[in-house]
Structure 1
Amino acid sequence: MLTEHFIASIGVPEKPPGTNVAKDAAIFLHEFQPLAQQRAIFKKSATPANCLAVSESHIFAAQSDKAVVHVYNRLKGNQEATVPFTERVTCIALACDDTVLVLGTAEGRIFLWETHSGRQVTTVQSHLQKVTALAVDASSNFLLSASADSTVQVWSLPGLLSFANVGAQGLSPLRTFASHRTEVTAVTVGHSVSFSNFAVSAARDRTCLLWDFHTNTVLRTYLLSSLPLCITLDAADRAVYLGCDDGSVQQLDLYRQGHSTSAVQGGEKASVPIQPAASSRWRQPDALKGAALSVSLSFDSSTLLTGHQSGSVVAWDVATGRAQTNLMQNPLPGPVTNLCFLPVTGFAYQETKRVKVTSVMKPKFGAFDSAAGTVPGNYAINVELTGSDLGAEETLWQQALTAPSFPQALLDEGLGELASWSLAPERHVSAAAPDETEDFMALDGDSNKRKEPTLEEQNAALRAQIEALRRLQTASFDRIDKINAERKALIQREHARLMRGGEAQPNGVDGNSYDESDDGD
């Protein structure tokens, strides 16, 4: 049975929790379907917006106005560690198959913490103000960091984690997106792993920009009627959903009919601002729920969840744009600052990560730095290798589905097939066009069929085989006769030599007497 869960976290509680909520409960694991009920809780946390990251085995929660990250073990259901940092953490995100935790700080820096080794990498202060949001692309090659200074930095994750780029030169961003005019509140990237992926960012000037983070090219500019606070993309990258300060949800259809070109493709009218239609804005019937601080989409993108300032979690029907119902009978004891749907479980073929971090290693800044740019000798990782098909090679078709381009082996196979066509036997030229050569592959079925031999042809082939065997037999017998003649001549010469030697001996007959019957004839 397929099961889908989501995790909700709250910030600083505005009121004492009721009797229906456990004491100090701060992070809630709920089952969304098939049964809507609470499954687990984690205590002692006050998580601001964009400060929650969930892996298969752990939950990372940065604390409000503190330089501390709480680590919870999902398997054991308790708090595993409290990790301090040198600067106040304002946002976090997971990358590299959930083995690297990326942290944005209030000083405008980026921390990268390898949870499986304890290695910590710190960038220079690239942002003038605090980092407000982080986003990692599906391939974990690029990192986007949004800031209150109205810029979005694009980083190379492999470059940040490389031992060869320990200096400040290797820890600088690739490019800076500076098309916003005020604080960037949220940023996200598309699900593609190709080199034409895009990003969506929203700012306090009530604008939402769709842009290519590989080239810093603005594809679309949307003018909103409310202040956007959070953002998410559907699984097919066809629509953007923004949670606003008035509790409403703004839907942006990237392939809306009526535009000369789609939003993703850009075009001549890409710089012309677009104001979404009033029908694309979903309003909450109860305005007392407060601002929509967090938003998340289900696996099939048919249900949208929004977390509000009042502690309510509202489910929206994406097809109709209407609020269905409150998922919980009673609101949570604080503002719902983070919502996150977890991967669906229960598939017959459940895709699992090849490595799993069972226990996190606390960060050790500068412990693994190497001036030579090589992996230091004290560098070690602590992971669990998972998967029943560990070591099994993927097929070329599976590689083509997940790779940003066609695998080289698949291209070589296709080129080899094309080369084999040129080595095919030459076809007979039709009598109607004797001077023309046939440079195409025939599609008729009869021309490719092999002609069956007749009975006379089969008999002729058998007679030729028998004649070849007879010639081989005759040649073999001739060779045997020749070898026997040479053997007989050698024996006679040896016998003559022995007889001449025996003339000096009376009655001289040695033990090597020759018998005519031994010549083998």
Structure 2
Amino acid sequence: MLPQEIILSACSTSTPGAGPSRPNTSLVPSIQAHDLLTCLPLHSYKSSTSALHSLSYVPSRNGQGGTIMAVQENKSLLYVWAWQKDQMLSKLHLPDKLTCFSISPNGVWATGGSPGGQIYLWELASGTLLSSFSAHYRQVVSLTFTPDSRLLLSASLDGSIHIHLVARLAEADHLGKPYGTLRDHTLAIRDVVVGKTSGVHGGRCWTISDDGTVKMWDLHPPFDLLCTFSLTPASIPTALVVDSSERFFYVSTSNGDIFYVPLFRRRDEVGGLGAVEAVGGGVFGSSAVKLEGGRVISLKTAITALALSITASHLLVGTVAGTVQIHSLPSHQHLSTISLPGPCSYISTLPRPPDMPVGPSTTTKDLWPVMEVKPLERVKNPPSWRTREASILLRADLDRLDSLRSVPVTKGNCAGLSVAVESQGTRYSLTEEKLRVLQEENTALREGLERATRINETMWRSIVDGVVESESS
């Protein structure tokens, strides 16, 4: 049975460059979780308004409850929630009014960008500010980790994307020099998406810019430009989502259009080496691919966020009007709509956390211990680099049957479990009984061996004595 897939969404009070919005004032601004198939609300984390690229989360795993973290819009505050409760877990003060925020997939690092181009890197377990440096000369738009948490990509309104090695950023003497730079866009960057297999060893990433292009890059030095996709004139891309298998991607525009772009196509020439080839995979920096006729969805409002379900069976579209539209793939049929209190600023799909409450029957006994979130340092303090304390959850090494032994067993509950638990209690008595039987068998065999030995000696002596007497006579 597949785990339940949920939709995590957030809203903002306003979306720059998206035009006027019509928020649903009857709803309280919050981070909401809905079921993907039924669109029923599952949980709500109050109260929060965050800008684009300002929300991230740590999944619950290894018996430890995860958290949701969101930088509040136009405030130097970071709100933290646990998956288990709708009330805020803690409120952390930040060194600046951050414009973007991200947590590494392994849950170790947290990073934020400022309007002036400053980037901050914290260690979540201790709250230590490991690095603070000026990476761009304009506002940082997004910060994206690769799935292996080793590379950090920073995008800015100055039109550049810097690639940083996280291991170098964590060094005390780091000066902020990037590992590499992606320079080909002429206007501000709006979004960066990395492939599921990307990392320090290589992979691909996609970027969108106000210059009306989507660019695909190689994440292995020297970070070559693989392909450029050009949108129709007067179309400015606003959001991008890539299939987990990197077969296609969707890009939205400020006009409310969504384009479907396949990353593989059939060869036109006869006698090719294969029936299918990669788009832009032939020569580095090949000519731009024009997205003509690829529009599959057209809305009457600007689009702010895109997301795909885990199995790529649904496309989620967040709008400035405060709605999340769900479309079926590959037909692109509109299935349902979720209303938000304001312009949608975040959408993602994920398996339902195991510690998320199922209903009012959930008790504190069923909740997992939540990861400790310490205050984030606002100034880099060299002494704390050597004396910082990190919190680690230590769990007792319990027998797997301990949970079964603690369950009250009744006759109608589980007959097989009753037999298993009862046999556990009589195991030692059965072992002693078997040992006693073996000892008795051993004693009987020894006695039989001694009797056979005596009979053998008696027969041997009688034969020898008879032979000796016959020879003497």
TM-score for the superposition, normalised by structure 1 = 0.65
Cα displacement (A) at 1:245: 1.0
Contact 1:299 1:344 in 2 (8 A): no
* C-alpha distance in structure 2 between counterparts of 1:327 and 1:49, whole Å: 20
Q: 1:55-94 residue pairs with structure 2 within 5 A? A: 55-56=58-59, 57-94=66-103
Taking the aligned partners of 1:259 and 1:84, their CA distance within structure 2 comes to: 58
What's the offset of the Cα at 1:312?
1.4
1:129 shift after superposition: 0.2
Map 1:191-206 to 2 at 5 A: 191-193=196-198, 195-206=201-212
Mapping of residues 422-441 of structure 1, within 5 Å: none
Q: What secondary structure does 2:389 align onto?
A: coil
Report the CA distance between 1:153 and its aligned residue.
0.4
Deviations 1:88-125 (A, max 9, x none): 21111111512321111111111112221111133321
Q: Check 1:389–1:102 CA distance in 2 against 1; reply closer, same or farther (3 A cut).
A: farther
Q: Which residue of 2 aligns with 1:293?
A: 304
Q: How has the CA–CA distance of structure 1 residues 357 and 255 changed in structure 2, closer, same or farther, with 3 Å as cutoff?
A: farther
1:37 aligns with 2:64: no
Structure with bigger RCO (C-alpha 8 Å, 6+ apart): 2
Deviation for aligned residue 1:213: 2.6
Within a 5 Å distance, the mapping from 1:228-377 to structure 2 comes to 228-258=237-267, 262-263=277-278, 266-268=281-283, 270-278=285-293, 280-284=294-298, 286-287=299-300, 290-320=301-331, 322-328=332-338, 331-343=339-351, 358-365=371-378, 369=382, 376=386
Query: Is the CA contact (8 Å cut-off) linking 2:192 and 2:208 kept in structure 1?
Result: yes
What pairs with 1:446-461 in structure 2 (closer than 5 Å)?
none
| Distance in 1 separating the partners of 2:311 and 2:396 | 25
Deviations 1:440-468 (A, max 9, x none): xxxxxxxxxxxxxxxxxxxxxxxxxxxxx
Are the counterparts in 1 of residues 120 and 133 from structure 2 also a CA contact under 8 Å? Answer: no
List structure 1 runs of 4+ shifted beyond 6 angstroms. Answer: 386-390
What's the CA shift string for 1:392-419, capped at 9, x where partnerless?
Answer: xxxxxxxxxxxxxxxxxxxxxxxxxxxx
Given that residues 144 and 153 in structure 1 are in contact (C-alpha distance below 8 angstroms), is that contact kept between their aligned partners in structure 2? yes
Determine helix, strand or coil for the equivalent of 2:89.
strand
1:356 positional shift? 8.6
Aligned 1:479-518 pairs, distance under 5 A: none
Taking structure 2 as the reference length, the TM-score comes to: 0.71
Q: Let me know the Cα RMSD of the aligned residues.
A: 2.7
Q: Residues 245 and 259 (structure 1 numbering): CA distance in 2 closer, same or farther, change over 3 Å?
A: farther
Identity of aligned residues (%): 22
Cα separation, partners in 2 of 1:370 and 1:252, compared to 1, 3 Å? farther
Aligned residue for 2:36, secondary structure, equals strand
CA–CA distance in 1 between the matches of 2:369 and 2:192? 27
1:159 partner SS: helix
Aligned to 2:411: none
Alignment correspondent of 2:230: 223
Q: 1:54 aligns with which of 32, 54, 57?
A: 57
The answer for unaligned runs of 5 or more in structure 2 is: 15-20, 60-65, 270-275, 355-367, 400-473
The change in CA–CA distance for 1:366 and 1:299 in structure 2 (over 3 A counts) is same
Query: 1:508 matched to which residue of 2?
Result: none
Distance 1:276 1:387, change over 3 A: farther
The 1-side partners of 2:34 and 2:397 are apart by 29
1:96/1:140 contact within 8 Å kept: yes
1:389 shift after superposition: 11
Greater CA drift, 186-195 or 306-315: 186-195
Give the residue type in structure 1 aligned to 2:95.
Answer: T
Contact 2:224 2:284 in 1 (8 A): no
C-alpha separation in 1, matches of 2:208 and 2:268: 22
Structure 2 equivalent of residue 510 of structure 1: none
Gap runs ≥5 in structure 1: 347-354, 391-521
Aligned residue for 2:4? 3
Which of these residues, 147, 159, 177, is aligned with residue 172 of structure 1? 177
**Partner AA of 1:252 in structure 2:** V
CA-to-aligned-CA distance 1:161-192 (integer Å, 9 cap, x gap): 2xxx21243x3211221110000000011111
